[in-house]
Amino acid sequence: MFCENHPSTNNGFILILPHMHTDFNFPLHIHKNYEFIFVEEGCLIAEINGFDYKLCKGEGVLILSNQPHRYTTPEHSKSWTLLFSSDVIPELKQIVKKCPFSPIIRLNNPDTRAMLLKNKNNPLRMRSILYDLVAIYCEGEPAPHLISDDGDVTVKIMQYISDHYAEPLTLKEISHSLGYNYRYISGIVNKLYKLPFPSIINSHRIHRSCALLDKGENTITEISMLCGFGSTRSFNRNFKSIMGITPKEYINKTK
């Protein structure tokens, strides 16, 4: 799990990612922006605050600010993503403070994505479309289970991992640094990740390494060191275990 840094969290920030995701898989993470992901084809599993939601063609989910979430594709999916700051629709803040609704949204207008792309440079049009999405969201069933009592601590844990992933990390070190009981921190992490802590850290490191490989500014050996692996051999082994291919194969695939 990690804190993902999007291009902006400024007031009025709206961004529809131009590319379509194919067979989308993304590890557990949080960010301050709201996120809407919509499935155009196949099925996608969205895990939000530890609860799974199966999305099929024509369905999407609204992710609220600082909600831990991840995506997995069981077989095949095509999807697209829209990001916007919490200040774009101020009313939404007050709504979710009381009780969030079911995150699943079925678009009434199948041409919404085309409308968003067409109007991506027109903030007023974009805001209008977002209000339609939020209106559909607010017509859903209340979902109080999506409110986490450990929300603030979860954010602190994620931020700590995000800041220190390249260093040797243990849960005891995190609990000591944050000033919380070890069992309490361990319980939160186990509930969210459902994975051994070394696997969590390695998954985070491999995701960060993919971003560096995409940039192409560092060698594989340099990236292995920057991402906290003790050797290139360890990096290659963990990369293939998580990504299914070697770093070199990843570079060739993404060229």
Task: State how far the alpha carbon of 64 is from the alpha carbons of 42, 69, 85, 151, in Å.
Answer: 24, 10, 10, 12
Same domain, 116 and 168: no
- The predicted model gives 67-85 an average pLDDT of 90
Same domain, 94 and 201: no
> b vs e for 78-114, b when ≥16 Cβ sit within 10 Å of the residue's Cβ?
bbbbbbbbbebbeebeeebeeebbebbbebeeeebbe
Residues 6 or more apart whose Cβ sits within 8 Å of residue 177: 160
Whether 247 has a pLDDT exceeding 90, the answer reads yes
Sign of the CA dihedral with 160 first, then 163, 169, and 173 last: negative
Q: What is the pLDDT of residues 163-173, one digit of tens each?
A: 888 998 899 99
- The predicted model gives 3-29 an average pLDDT of 72
Same domain, 7 and 98: yes
Task: State how far the alpha carbon of 175 is from the alpha carbons of 88, 120, 154, 156, 189, in Å.
Answer: 35, 43, 12, 10, 11
Q: What is the span of the domain harbouring residue 180?
A: 151-254
Same domain, 7 and 133: yes
pLDDT for 223: 95
- Is 157 or 227 the better-scoring residue by pLDDT? 227
The residue out of 118, 146, 174 marking a domain boundary is 146
Q: ∠ CA(46), CA(56), CA(206), 5° rounding?
A: 35
Same domain, 17 and 73: yes
Model confidence band, residue 150 (pLDDT cutoffs 50, 70, 90): low
pLDDT for 7: 45
Residues 6 or more apart whose Cβ sits within 8 Å of residue 162: 2, 3, 204
Q: Write the CATH number for 169.
A: 1.10.10.60
The residue out of 98, 124, 146 marking a domain boundary is 146
Same domain, 79 and 100: yes
The residue out of 146, 175, 202 marking a domain boundary is 146
> In the chain, pLDDT over 90 holds for what percent of residues?
34
Same domain, 167 and 48: no
Report the alpha-carbon distance of residue 23 to residue 83 in Å, rounded: 19
Q: Write the CATH number for 101.
A: 2.60.120.280
Backbone phi, then psi, for 15, in 5-degree steps?
Answer: -145, 125
Reference 220, options 254, 249, 255; nearest CA is: 249
Instruction: Give yes or no for a contact between 63 and 103, defined as CB atoms under 8 angstroms apart.
Output: yes
Model confidence band, residue 8 (pLDDT cutoffs 50, 70, 90): very low
Same domain, 59 and 112: yes
Same domain, 141 and 17: yes
Same domain, 25 and 96: yes
Same domain, 66 and 134: yes
Q: Give how many domains the chain has, as a whole number.
A: 2
Same domain, 9 and 96: yes
